């Protein structure tokens, strides 16, 4: 059984689990930290904006059931790719968006999807989401895992107040691909 990993930073990792978690072919989605210089950072370390890490999700998937390109399409629909300073109410470098590729094929697919989205004219501003080589991924503390399931009321309040859902509705409600 083949497995691959996809790693996406899309702001608050709580909001990045649910869109991928129940998809056929996705085996698991882990909230965590990547892209920084601190080994085994904690949530408090990352929130201090001194570790270089971003909140991210690491998705383990079966490429025979769901493609990396499909995961990229879902990723783009969860974020504001034009915001260089964070995502929605979450500000700072630990909330900046990025695609962390695990192979040259993933790098190429990510670059092609970014180019296609930029050329689509969907956004008035240039896309600033970075495409970076995968780095060590550190799972977040247990209480952050599957937050949408373990704390559904808190999760729904956060999403509603964050501006994320309103953004998604505004830019993706037409049902067209990027």
Q: So which residues are the catalytic ones?
A: 12
Query: DSSP letter string over the chain?
Result: ---EEEEEE-SSTHHHHHHHHTSTTEEEEEEEEESSSSSS--HHHHHTT-S--EEEEEEEE-TTTS-HHHHHHHHHTTS-TT-TTEETTEESGGG--EEEESSHHHHHHHHHHHHHHHHHT-SSS----EEEE---EEEPPGGGTTHHHHSHHHHHHHHHHHSHHHHHHHHHTT----
- Nearest Cα to Cα of residue 57 among 77, 45, 71, 69: 71
Query: Counting beta carbons within 10 angstroms of the beta carbon of residue 64, is it exposed (0 to 12), middle (13 to 18) or buried (19 or more)?
Result: exposed
């Amino acid at each position: 059984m083949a497995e691959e990993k996809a790693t996406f930073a899309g702001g608050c990792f709580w909001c990045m689990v649910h869109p991928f978690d129940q998809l056929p072919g996705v085996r698991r989605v882990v909230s965590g930290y990547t892209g920084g210089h601190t080994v085994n950072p904690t949530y408090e370390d990352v929130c201090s904006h001194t570790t270089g890490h971003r909140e991210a999700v690491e998705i383990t998937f079966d490429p025979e059931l769901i493609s990396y390109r499909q995961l990229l399409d879902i990723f783009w629909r969860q974020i504001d790719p034009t915001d260089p300073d964070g995502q929605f109410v979450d500000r700072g470098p630990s909330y900046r968006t990025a695609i962390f590729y695990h192979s040259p094929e993933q790098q190429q697919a990510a670059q092609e999807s970014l180019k296609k989205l930029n050329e689509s004219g969907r956004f008035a501003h240039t896309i600033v989401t970075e495409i970076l080589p995968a780095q060590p991924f550190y799972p977040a503390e247990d209480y952050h895992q599957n937050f949408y399931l373990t704390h559904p009321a808190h999760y729904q309040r956060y999403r509603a107040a964050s501006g994320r859902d309103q953004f998604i509705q505004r830019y993706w409600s037409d049902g067209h691909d990027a």
